[in-house]
Structure 1
Amino acid sequence: MTRRLADAKAVSVLVARLAGQISRHNRGVQDLALVGIKRRGVPIAERLAARLSAGRQPGIPVGAIDITLYRDDLQMVAETPIVRGSEIGFDINGRTLVLVDDVVFTGRTIRAALSELLDFGRPRAIQLAALVDRGHRELPIQPDFVARVIKTRRSDLVDIFLKETDGRDEIVLTKVGQSQKPRAKSQKPK
């Protein structure tokens, strides 16, 4: 059973909610930078930066990281992983970074992202922002900022579609029965 949890308007509201949480917690945006986890964390980070910058020049820097080679399940994902590369065009040393992902689930993606980020330098602090928190952690990782918490079963699928990567903004929950095997995240339509 598939159910739409958010349409384009609701996704926009969720991004605004996340931006508000980040701004309030950091008392503004001084020395703040955003780093999105590829793929869908990057457009969310860019949208957040646009809202947080709101006419400020220069705007908030945004970077992107590809955690492929930092995953602890790399052998299970693919024989030949597709590496898209990381782009962080600013110095992270001494800066507050907000790591941005679309969905926080087991915590393993975030662990990999933290390992990679620290290879770039030593930020003053790293905060975690996610559009959706669906629970079921396997590691002791919790987001600092969450736009929406969704109660799910471990086997359920939460798909976030964004205009920049998928041509539309939408959040969809698919209830997967006991006899169905959930598909890997990398099998989402591109």
Structure 2
Amino acid sequence: MKEKTILLDQQAIKRALTRIAHEILERNKGIKDLILVGIKTRGVFLGNRLGERIEQIEGEKVSSGEIDITLYRDDLSKKNANDEPLLKGTNIPIDVTNKTVILVDDVLYTGRTVRAAMDAVMDLGRPSQIQLAVLVDRGHRELPIRADYVGKNVPTSRDEIVNVDLSEVDETDQVSIQ
């Protein structure tokens, strides 16, 4: 088994999210018509943290929600046919139509999760724009998808594993590779 290397510690994650929050505000000229949508599971926690940073900077709360992409995955048919998909629920409390939706996720890899999230958002309405914020971009895209906001670019091989641990579910904040 390969040894684990820490790529981002708690402070580095905090700095990356603060930088992304500033980039989001600069690019979108504030929070008007903006919705942060976390992709279940860790994207939700990162989206919440981004929302807190944006509120600290702007002095106003940004709209947010969470999306479950389970039924939009293109690999559902490859899973065991007897297993029912475990739905975690989508909760976006405002209409996405004509809003800028920023999808938030932990790791961008093949792009298939993001494609599924875009499909799920489009089923809820027609946003004026969809942007993507990720903590780690590890490369190896299979679809023409790129992140608008990236915490850290990490060139990886396909056999390496990138783990994002967040205190909300893992009791620690770190990104590691093995």
TM-score, length basis structure 1 = 0.87
The residue correspondences of 1:89-100 to structure 2 (distance < 5 A) are 89-100=93-104
Counterpart pick for 2:33 among 9, 14, 31:
31
Aligned to 1:163: 167
More divergent stretch after superposition (106-115 vs 81-90): 81-90
Cα offset, 1:7, TM superposition:
1.2
Separation in 2 of the partners of 1:45 and 1:81?
A: 24
The reply on whether 1:124 has 2:128 as its aligned counterpart is yes
CA offsets 1:45-101 (integer angstroms, 9 cap, x no match): 1111111122634x1111000100100001334522211110111111111111111
* AA at the equivalent of 1:95: K
Separation in 2 of the partners of 1:173 and 1:36?
A: 23
Separation in 1 of the partners of 2:84 and 2:114?
A: 22
Separation in 2 of the partners of 1:77 and 1:111?
A: 19
Aligned to 2:46: 44
Separation in 2 of the partners of 1:17 and 1:109?
A: 24
Aligned to 2:153: 149
Aligned to 1:56: 59
Q: How many residues align?
A: 173
Aligned to 1:88: 92
Separation in 1 of the partners of 2:90 and 2:169?
A: 17
The reply on whether 1:15 has 2:37 as its aligned counterpart is no
Runs of 4+ in structure 1 deviating by more than 3 angstroms, as ranges, are: none
Across the aligned residues of Structure 1 and Structure 2, the Cα RMSD in angstroms comes to 1.2
Separation in 2 of the partners of 1:171 and 1:7?
A: 7
TM-score, length basis structure 2 = 0.93
More divergent stretch after superposition (61-70 vs 73-82): 73-82
Alignment gaps of 5+ in structure 1: 175-190
Q: State the percentage of identical aligned residues.
A: 45
* AA at the equivalent of 1:17: R
